[in-house]
Every structure is written in C-alpha cells, then in structure tokens.
A and B are shown apart, each in its own frame.
Chain A
Amino acid sequence: EDQVTQSPEALRLQEGESSSLNCSYTVSGLRGLFWYRQDPGKGPEFLFTLYSAGEEKEKERLKATLTKKESFLHITAPKPEDSATYLCAGLSARQLTFGSGTQLTVLP
C-alpha cells in the first residue's frame, strides 16, 4: 500500500526564518511527487511535480527537492502570506496518495 508521511505536522516560523518541510514516501512505481499549497476551505493549489532523484524545482521562496525516499520543501525567508498547509502527494499508476500535510504559520 502506498504511503506518504509528512513532518512536522505544524511549524511556526518568524518572518524571514528559513526552514524545510519533509515528505517521506513509499509509492509503487512512482510517476511523480507533487507538492500543493492548501488554504483553509480551499482546494489544493499546485506547486511542483518532481520525477527523479536529484531533481529540484523553485518558485519564488519555495524550492522542492527529491531523493529516492524523501522530498523536501525548503522555504527561504518566508513571509506571512506563505502561511498555509503544504501537502505532499505521490502518484502511482493507480492514484495520487496524499500525506497529512504540514501546517505552516509565519509570524510577522
């Protein structure tokens, strides 16, 4: 059974304080590792797809990286508007399996 585990569950940062979110995955025949941002009461907003170990992608203050067992979402100098739940998901031939998310709060 495919599994995706995210840590920490919650993270509070001061504005400008960089950090990383972790996503460990066991997904059969991984076809892509996805990162999403979710605001309260909203749908997941697509951020990145990573396909192979060593791949990196960047968008503004976010950078996602992938190894054979984990993915990291690095947040550099976060701002309060980066506060959200960040979801990691692994795509197999069958389905996209989500982790429970990391709830990020960035304090001004």
Chain B
Amino acid sequence: EPEVTQTPSHQVTQMGQEVILRCVPISNHLYFYWYRQILGQKVEFLVSFYNNEISEKSEIFDDQFSVERPDGSNFTLKIRSTKLEDSAMYFCATRSWSGNTIYFGEGSWLTVV
C-alpha cells in the first residue's frame, strides 16, 4: 500500500515554542491535508492544500498555523507559538487526482508542556 511518511513521530516542546511537522506525500498525489486528533476525540480537519496554496481551512487553523511545500516534495505544518491545547496527534493525508483514496500517515504526536 502507498505510504505517507511523517516526522517526527513524537515531539515534546515548551509552551510558546515553534514546531514544524513534516510529511512526505505519496508521489503524484496532488491534494494534501493536515488533521489533528486530541486524545480520545475525533479526527478534526485543519487545512487542505492544492496547487501550492491553501484551498480550505477550519476554524482551528488560526494565525499561529501555517503550511507550505518548500521543496516540491515535503509538506510541512508549522505551529508558531505552541499552547498546551495544541497537544494532539497530527496527521498528514494525501489524495490522488481521481480522489478515490485518501491515505493518512502514522501521525506526529505533539506534547506541549
């Protein structure tokens, strides 16, 4: 099965610090997403990215968040000034042009202390 790769698998950071989560999407996939899952809660949409720009974002995705695809392969999520409530598992997902499969990575577990 195609694989979406995420790094780091786990990061602990001090409140107020910046964090960058990285994703290597499946090659030839064109749509990219970030989702998060707070422990024990549902998977929540953060942002979608297509053609090098944000196509949709949720209310959660405020000014402290940003996404980019700096080198045409990696897809990153930056959290500028982390808060305790940002502690969650962050998932990257990618979708092909045909849209019939959306694959998720194994996640990056972020703990803000």
Contacts and interface: CB of A to CB of B under 8 A. Distances in A.
B104 A44 contact: yes
B99 interface: yes
B86 interface: no
Nearest to B55: A94
B48 A95 contact: yes
A99 B43 CA distance: 8
B107 interface: yes
Given A95-B56, A95-B58, A100-B42, A43 B106 contact: yes
Interface in A68-108: 87, 89, 91, 94-101
B25 interface: no
A99 B42 contact: yes
B99 A32 contact: yes
B45 A96 contact: yes
B28 interface: no
Interface of A: 31-32, 34, 36, 41-46, 49, 51, 87, 89, 91, 94-101
